[in-house]
């Protein structure tokens, strides 16, 4: 297992999660104010899941080297 | 793929909140699905290359993803930026509505796979020496590109989606965020031309 690669991918995924966390908070506030439709929140969740899926596949590579 | 198959009509029965109109175009989910389907290919190809222990396949994946990423940024920075500047704001917004979902998964995937496969290649070829100024230069450029990607490109893309999903989307904001990404692609292209210079040196010497 390539532990440094796994750590690097985890750091990238962590950065991604924190960016999405901030955006999710912004979106939730907008939604609570009635500015943002619920569909915006749904898209945000699927966008995050899609990015994490790509990172999960990439994390597999750390176990192959 | 079911992950983007949320239907507003179905959700209407679950939550009264969605009765409000949304600015998100119908084609957005289709473009996102397409982007995800293409975005999954590079990491899967890298997994296959490593699983069969083929340096040739890993090198191929690295060169193809790196070239596609660089090519996209050069095209965006040199060609698309000029086209966008010549358009009125409503036309820019229409392009953004289609460009943002289509590139949403593809570009981060190309970038992540190009970088990851590059590190594996350098390790496999015995060139991953952190005392080597060329490796340090490559690492420095990768850090800049990554910070731009995570810090600006991705958040801007998501903010464009959120703005489009608002009851009253702000076309000026969508246009501004899109133009910021287009201009940034131009600066990424410069860094990528530089990193290819470093790669060419590492490949030959």
What ipTM, to 2 d.p.? 0.86
Task: Calculate mean pLDDT across residues B67-91.
Answer: 90
Contact assignment for B47 to A57 by CB distance below 8 Å: yes
Tens-place pLDDT, residues B156-191: 888 888 888 888 889 899 889 998 888 888 888 899
pLDDT score of B141 more than 90:
yes
Q: Which two tokens stand for residue B60?
A: 């191929």
Contact B157, B108 (CB under 8 A): no
Residues lower than pLDDT 50 in chain A: none
Between these two residues, A1 and B136, which has the higher pLDDT value?
B136
Contact assignment for A19 to B155 by CB distance below 8 Å: yes
pLDDT score of B10 more than 70:
no
What lies within 8 Å, CB to CB, of B164 at 6+ separation is A40, B23, B24, B25, B28, B97, B174
Q: What's the rounded Cα separation, in Å, for the pair A64 and B2?
A: 29
Contact assignment for A12 to B120 by CB distance below 8 Å: no
Looking at residue A7, what is its pLDDT? Answer: 85
* SS3 category, B191: helix
Mean pLDDT of chain B: 85
pLDDT bucket at B53, cuts 50 / 70 / 90 = very high
What lies within 8 Å, CB to CB, of A53 at 6+ separation is B36, B40
pLDDT bucket at B5, cuts 50 / 70 / 90 = very low
Q: What's the rounded Cα separation, in Å, for the pair B4 and B203?
A: 42
Among A16, A36, A57, the residue with its CB nearest the CB of B40 is A57
Contact B161, A40 (CB under 8 A): yes
Residues 87-126 of B with CB under 8 A from A: 104-105, 108-109, 112-113, 116, 119-120, 123
pLDDT score of B15 more than 50:
no
Domain that holds residue B172: 2-204
Contact B110, B35 (CB under 8 A): no
Total count of domains within chain B: 1
pLDDT score of B24 more than 80:
no
Among B11, B105, B120, the residue with its CB nearest the CB of A50 is B105
Contacts of A40 in chain B (CB under 8 A): 22, 24, 161-162, 164-166
Residues 30-59 of A with CB under 8 A from B: 30-31, 34-40, 42-44, 46-47, 49-51, 53-55, 57-58
Looking at residue B23, what is its pLDDT? Answer: 64
Q: Half-sphere exposure of residue B176, counting CA atoms within 13 Å on the CB side?
A: 7
């Amino acid at each position: 297992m390539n532990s440094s690669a796994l750590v690097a991918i985890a750091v990238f995924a962590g950065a991604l999660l924190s960016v999405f966390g901030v955006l999710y908070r912004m979106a939730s506030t907008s939604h609570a104010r009635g500015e943002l439709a619920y569909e915006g929140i749904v898209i945000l969740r699927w966008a995050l899941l899609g990015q994490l899926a790509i990172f999960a596949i990439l994390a597999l590579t750390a176990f192959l080297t | 793929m079911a992950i983007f198959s949320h239907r507003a009509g179905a959700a209407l029965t679950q939550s009264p909140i969605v009765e409000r109109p949304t600015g998100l175009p119908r084609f957005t989910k289709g473009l996102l699905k397409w982007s995800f389907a293409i975005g999954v290919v590079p990491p899967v190809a890298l997994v296959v290359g490593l699983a069969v222990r083929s340096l040739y396949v890993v090198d191929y994946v690295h060169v193809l993803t790196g070239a596609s990423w660089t090519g996209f940024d050069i095209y965006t920075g040199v060609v698309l930026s000029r086209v966008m500047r010549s358009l009125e704001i409503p036309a820019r917004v229409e392009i953004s509505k289609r460009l943002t979902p289509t590139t949403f998964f593809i570009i981060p995937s190309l970038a992540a796979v190009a970088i990851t496969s590059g590190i594996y290649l350098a390790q496999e070829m015995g060139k991953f020496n952190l005392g080597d100024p060329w490796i340090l230069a490559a690492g420095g450029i990768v850090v800049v590109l990554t910070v731009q990607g995570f810090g600006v490109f991705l958040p801007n893309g998501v903010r464009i989606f959120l703005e489009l999903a608002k009851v009253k989307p702000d076309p000026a904001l969508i246009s501004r965020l899109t133009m910021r990404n287009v201009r940034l692609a131009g600066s990424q292209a410069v860094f990528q031309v530089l990193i290819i210079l470093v790669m060419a040196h590492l490949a030959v010497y």
